[in-house]
Structure 1
Amino acid sequence: MSAHAQREAAEIRERWLGRALSTLPADRPAAEAAISALYHLIGLPPPRFHWAASPLTALATVPPGLGPARNLERVAEWPLPPRLTALRNELRRGVDAKVRGLQQPLDQLIRRKVQAPLTQGGEACLLQPLRRAHTGDFPWSNRWYDSQLVAWIAHYDALRRVAGVVFTAEQLRQWRLWATVATTCQWWWPDEHVCVVSERPVALHTEVSGDDGRVRLHHADGPAVRYADGWALHSWHGTSVPAWVITGPTVDRIMAETNVEVRRCAIESLGWPEYVEQAGLRLVGTAPDPGNPGSELRLYDMRRETRVLIAVNGSVERDGRRRRYGLTVPGHFTDPLAAAGWTYGLSAEQYSRLLRRT
């Protein structure tokens, strides 16, 4: 496998990720033309378009021409999404038939470097706001929403550019239609006579996590996602949180919070040293961290017969700092080394022999 192929795959991934997470205004003429062309491919005339400023507004709207039985939250039950999804699947089957003879290492490279990261990024950054917009249970298995993410589109782009898979004229035309829609607007809900389309957000903040380039929503100073109609979502290192976690974390609010993940995020937002001081946590013991030379393990009493072990991440964040974090452990621990070992399924003696923790 050549270094050139790896570089090209990485470039394709970054290009499509940038398009998927764009905060530019929707290109309405291009989006409407591409959607109308997809309607034509399943034998229907162009629909009337109803644009919404955000997925929340879209899901709360019943535009003229959309029957009262057409609940956007139940789009999977509409007749058109399965027909359009079947159209996409036919395209994919036709291209996949040409890939069977592809060198396995090259196919694996494209799946690992292009498809997998974009699938994760789309789920983390785009499906999260859509999930929050739903008032009921979000249909995670909804193939219609999957078809709108760029992961599969970028995958086939990489097959063309990196692996040299040749598309027929019709395959290329249809692929370009799906690609145009995915990169000129956000979510869309197709009915026979009217198509509801959501604008992109006006602000979207992300961070890269891990060596594999995973992208997730995060903004320490405000909403991670904000739309023109004012609807916004806050996220702390990929975890969706109430606004107060970012804008005004306090010990009282943290102690009253029942969701463990939200409470953890709020403490990190406030800062572990500030939380320890303001909450008046009693220090149980300290010890040098053998898995992270130069750092210290600190064990504190908390509530409800639990204790918290505060440690420093063994790997450096992209901003050059090491993230401080807390791990809850059973209340019977008095030795920080034993508590640290317990989080890894090790004894205190085993943990003390670690060369370095990551």
Structure 2
Amino acid sequence: MLSTTPADRPAAEAAISLLYESAGLSPPRFRWVSSPLIALTTGEPGLSDQLGQRWRGLDGTVPQALWSDVAADLPRAAQMPGRLFEMWVATPLLSSWSNYVQPILDAAHGRRSPLLQWNTRFGIGWIPAWSDVRYGRHPRSMRLWDALAATVSACGPWWWPDERLCIVSDPPETLLMETAGDHDEMRPHCADGPAVRFRDGWELYFWHGTRVPEWVITDPTAAAIDRESNVEVRRCAIEHLGWPAYLEQAGMRLMATAPDPGNPGFDLLLYDLPRNERVLVAVNGSVERDGTRRRYGLTVPGHLDDPLAAAAWTYGLSRAQYSQLLHRT
């Protein structure tokens, strides 16, 4: 899934053809594309809208063949390793899949793509069974598992079958990821350029897993942030620019600062905003995975003029109660 190696086209076509034949279908014609951006528009004339939706053969016959013999051979001892595998491997892999593949396909087609549904159902959706298969691989199903593994190895998740035609895309040439979450899920992120770039020049920008316009990464300014209507994009741009720089560029007045009792070594900063609002800038009490601490801003009522009182308000506490905190997260 995370490979940037160019696709092995002969190996991919051979493995996918075996899956078609196992479903009782003739091997398809293959059409290779340079990125998912043009996958839907490269189908047969008049059929591009249906691509990825007509999987009657591969979506039914092949799964049945994969599982019928495997299920009969599974010992009870496989159930616990299977659950552990699902918890520690399959679940984070599915999350990584959603964080990585889904935004790319959505960006390519401007909506929730039917291509994503195909990949999830046929590819990653069955991953938990790999743990069980090692306990009872029947020769008939083993051949299909090997074909599926060979397909993923040769071209990654970037293939979509129709009954007569299979579209296959080359993997991206650039893919920059970071780990996040309790199970080390992967998500695209790059602070100084595109996180994903395909060989035809199509590129996407991500800030900690959120897809953003190019300016958020290459030229974040307070003026551009104020023009942005999308709240998530604004948040990412402010994080990248930094709250102090954003507030300074926006002409916000620093009213007061105070040491944060719940986060020793860091200060609370209270800024005055128009429309009788204020922003409290604080530093996260917990350390991020990369060892840094995230700085964030919280809107507070305009009558608050003390940083400690503003911080207490965000927790529903009094100023005196917040002042006694030993540590906050």
Instruction: Tell me the TM-score normalized by structure 1.
Output: 0.82
Would you say the 8 A contact 1:53–1:198 is kept in 2? yes
Would you say the 8 A contact 2:99–2:188 is kept in 1? yes
Q: Would the alpha carbon gap of residues 105 and 354 (structure 1) be closer, same or farther in structure 2, given more than 3 Å must change?
A: farther
The equivalent residue for 1:223 is: 194
Q: Matches of residues 160-175 of structure 1 in structure 2 within 5 Å?
A: 160=133, 165-175=135-145
Return the offset for 1:277.
1.7
Identity, % of aligned positions: 52
- Counterpart of 1:133, as a letter, is A
The yes-or-no answer on 1:75 pairing with 2:55 is no
2:61 to 82, 87, 91: 87
2:226 to 252, 255, 258: 255
Return the offset for 1:184.
1.8
Return the offset for 1:96.
5.2
Return the offset for 1:147.
3.0
Would you say the 8 A contact 2:41–2:48 is kept in 1? no
The equivalent residue for 1:157 is: 130
Q: Deviation per CA, 1:6-36, whole angstroms, max 9, x where unpaired? A: xxxxxxxxxxxxxx10101011111111110
Distance in 1 between residues matched to 2:61 and 2:302, nearest whole Å:
57
The yes-or-no answer on 1:109 pairing with 2:84 is yes
2:34 to 53, 56, 65: 53
Q: Would the alpha carbon gap of residues 105 and 48 (structure 1) be closer, same or farther in structure 2, given more than 3 Å must change?
A: closer
Distance in 1 between residues matched to 2:299 and 2:175, nearest whole Å:
32
Distance in 1 between residues matched to 2:63 and 2:325, nearest whole Å:
50
Which stretch has the larger CA shift, 143-152 or 122-131?
143-152
Q: Matches of residues 1-358 of structure 1 in structure 2 within 5 Å?
A: 20-62=1-43, 66-71=44-49, 75-76=52-53, 78=54, 81-90=55-64, 91-92=66-67, 95=70, 101-102=76-77, 106-139=81-114, 143-150=117-124, 152-153=126-127, 155-160=128-133, 165-185=135-155, 186-344=157-315, 346=317, 348-358=319-329
Distance in 1 between residues matched to 2:122 and 2:279, nearest whole Å:
42
Would you say the 8 A contact 1:311–1:326 is kept in 2? yes
Distance in 1 between residues matched to 2:236 and 2:92, nearest whole Å:
24
Distance in 2 between residues matched to 1:183 and 1:346, nearest whole Å:
55
Distance in 2 between residues matched to 1:111 and 1:347, nearest whole Å:
45
Q: Would the alpha carbon gap of residues 334 and 197 (structure 1) be closer, same or farther in structure 2, given more than 3 Å must change?
A: same
Runs (5+) with no aligned partner, structure 1: 1-19
Which stretch has the larger CA shift, 294-303 or 256-265?
294-303
- Counterpart of 1:71, as a letter, is D
Distance in 2 between residues matched to 1:352 and 1:148, nearest whole Å:
55
Q: Deviation per CA, 1:206-262, whole angstroms, max 9, x where unpaired? A: 111244312111000100100001101100011110000001111111111111110
- Counterpart of 1:68, as a letter, is G
Q: Would the alpha carbon gap of residues 159 and 286 (structure 1) be closer, same or farther in structure 2, given more than 3 Å must change?
A: farther
Would you say the 8 A contact 1:301–1:307 is kept in 2? yes
- The number of residue pairs the alignment matches comes to 327
User: What is the aligned-residue RMSD (CA, Å)?
Assistant: 2.6
- Counterpart of 1:184, as a letter, is A
Q: Deviation per CA, 1:44-96, whole angstroms, max 9, x where unpaired? A: 1211110000000222324xxx2413325x622x2xx2431223542346545
